[in-house]
Amino acid sequence: MIDEVQTVKNIASEKDAIGDFRFPERHKFDAGYGLTSKTVDYISDVKDDPDWVRAFRHKALAAFEEMPMPTHWATKDLESIDFDKIRYYLASGEAPKRSWDDVPEDVKRTFERLGIPEQERKFLAGVEAQYDSEAAYSNVKQAVTDQGVIFVNSTEGLKQHEDVFRKWFGKVIPTRDNKFSALNSAVFSGGSFIYVPPGVKVKHPLQAYFRINSENFGQFERTLIIVDEGAEVMYMEGCTAPKFETSTLHSAVVELVAMKDAKIQYVTVQNWSSNVFNLVTKRGVAHENAEIRWIDCNIGSRLTMKYPGVVMKGRKARGEVISIALANTGQHQDTGAKMIHAADETTSNVISKSISIGEGRSTYRGQVHIPKHLKGCKNNTECDALLINSSSRTDTYPAITVRGNDHATQHEASVSQVSQDQIFYMKQRGLSEAEAMSLSVNGFINDLVREFPMEYSVELKRLIDLEMEGSVG
C-alpha cells in the first residue's frame, strides 16, 4: 500500500510535481472536522499538555471565535475558508525519530523526494521534519548539542524547557494579535523550539521542513527561537503540500527573541501548491545591538498573508526584511514587513520585490513606526514590483509613521514591466521567450537572491524558472 505514491492527476508542470505527491493517510489521532472546545481538548489530551497550555488554548479559541475576519483591509478571499471543513490535528502518535532509518517508510520517502536528508548531510546543523501536525524526524548534530543548543519541536520545548519556553511564548506575538494568531494559539502543534546559549555561534543552519500530506487539513506549527547574548543562528524553513481539490490551511506563528548582541537570520523558501491559504504571523524582538533578519521567499499558495516584523527594543538594534514574492494566476501574495522602532539609534531595512505573472496579484504592505521620543533611528524601505503580463496586478500600501525630527527615513517604490524590446533583444540572441522571461525575472531579484544561502538560492532560481515556463506563450 505504502509503495503506491498517489501522484495527483493533471500535473501541469515540473514545479507542481516537486511537492505534488502524497501517501495514503494513516493517522492514529485525528481531531476530526471543525473547531470547538472539544477539538482543543482533544489536542490537549493527545499531546498531554500541561494545564497552563490547555488554558492558553481555550482562551485563544474564545479570542478566535470573537475576532472578526480582517476583510475590512484584507482580501475577501479569506471568507472562502470554511473552518468547519478543516481537520485541526492529524498525527501518527509516534515521537519524532532521531534517525531517518526509524522514520516510517512513507514519511521517509516523502522527505527524501524533497531532498531533506541529502541537505542535512551536506550543510545543515540540524533538521526537524514535520509531517501534518507533528515532527516525524528531529535531529541535531552532536557538536551543536555539545554547545548547549536546544533544537526540538514545540511540544518537547514546552515540556522539557518550560522555564525558558514559558517566559517568551506568546510574548512577542500575543494571542489576540490577529484572528489567525488566535487560531494558531488554540490548536498549535509542531514547529520548532530553539535556544542558543550566550556567545554560541551556530556555524551551520538549522532547518525545519513543513510538509502537508492530508487533504482538508490545517497545519498550525508554532516556532519560538531564543538566541541569548552574543549568540548567532541561522534558521531555514521550507514548505510544500500536494495539490488537492479542496483548500488547505497553513497558519503558523513564529516568535524570535534576540538578546543583547545576538543575531538571528530566519530564511523561508515556501513553495505551496496553489490551493493553500498561508496566513502566517512572524515577529521578532531585538534587544540592544541585536540583529534580526527575515529573508523570505513566497512562491505558490492561493493566498499568502505574511508581514514579518521586528520590534527593535534595545538601543542600536537592527531589523531587516528581505522578501521575494511571486504570484501566478490564481494566486495572491499579500506580503510586507513591520518595523517597530522602540529604542534610540535603531535601524531597519526593508527590501521587497514582487513578481506578478498572468493574472497573479501581489500586494506590499509595510508598516514602519518611529515614535517621537526616540533619537537617531533609521529606516530604508524599497519595494519594487515587476509585472509580466498586462493582466498582472500589483498594489503597494506603505505606512511609514515617523515622529520627531532626529530620524532618517527613505522610501522608494517602483513598478516595472518586462518590455517587448527586452524580450526581442534576448530572442535575437537565441533565447526562447520563456528563457528570456526567466532571465529578466532572475535579473530583477538577483541582488536579493544573493542574500539566501547558496543551496537555497539555486533552488530558488530553479523554482522561478519552472514557474515562468508555463506562463508565456
Partner 1 sequence: MEAQTQSQQMKLEIKDLHARIDGQEILKGLSLDIPKGEVHAIMGPNGSGKSTLSKVLAGHDDYEVTGGEVLMDGVNLLEMPADERSRAGLFMAFQYPVEIPGVSNANFIRAALQARLPNGEELDAVDFYKALYAKMDELEIDRKFTARSVNEGYSGGEKKRNEILQMAMLEPFYCVLDETDSGLDIDALKIVAKGVNAMRSPYRGFLVITHYQRLLDYIEPDHVHVMVNGRIVRSGGKGLALELEEKGYDWVRDELAVTA
Taking CA atoms, 177 is separated from 169, 173, 183, 363, 390, in Å, by 14, 6, 11, 21, 37
Which residue's CB is nearer to partner 1, number 405 or number 428? 428
Pairing of strands 378-387, 408-417: parallel
Which residue's CB is nearer to partner 1, number 71 or number 446? 446
285's grid cell: 524582538
> Counting beta carbons within 10 angstroms of the beta carbon of residue 353, is it exposed (0 to 12), middle (13 to 18) or buried (19 or more)?
buried
Which residue's CB is nearer to partner 1, number 51 or number 421? 421
Helix (H/G/I), strand (E/B), else coil: 45 = helix
> Counting beta carbons within 10 angstroms of the beta carbon of residue 300, is it exposed (0 to 12), middle (13 to 18) or buried (19 or more)?
buried
- How far apart are CB 447 and partner 1 at their closest, in Å? 7
- How far apart are CB 237 and partner 1 at their closest, in Å? 26
Which residue's CB is nearer to partner 1, number 62 or number 423? 423
- How far apart are CB 425 and partner 1 at their closest, in Å? 4
Contact 188, 221 (CB under 8 A): yes
Residues that bind partner 1 (CB under 8 A): 419-422, 424-433, 435-436, 439-440, 442-447
Which residue's CB is nearer to partner 1, number 78 or number 439? 439
- How far apart are CB 226 and partner 1 at their closest, in Å? 37
Contact 362, 393 (CB under 8 A): yes
- Picking from 355, 416, 334, 414, the residue whose alpha carbon sits closest to that of residue 382 is 414
- Picking from 122, 205, 208, 117, the residue whose alpha carbon sits closest to that of residue 453 is 205
- How far apart are CB 446 and partner 1 at their closest, in Å? 4
C-beta atoms surrounding 388 within 10 Å: 22
- How far apart are CB 337 and partner 1 at their closest, in Å? 22
Which residue's CB is nearer to partner 1, number 36 or number 446? 446
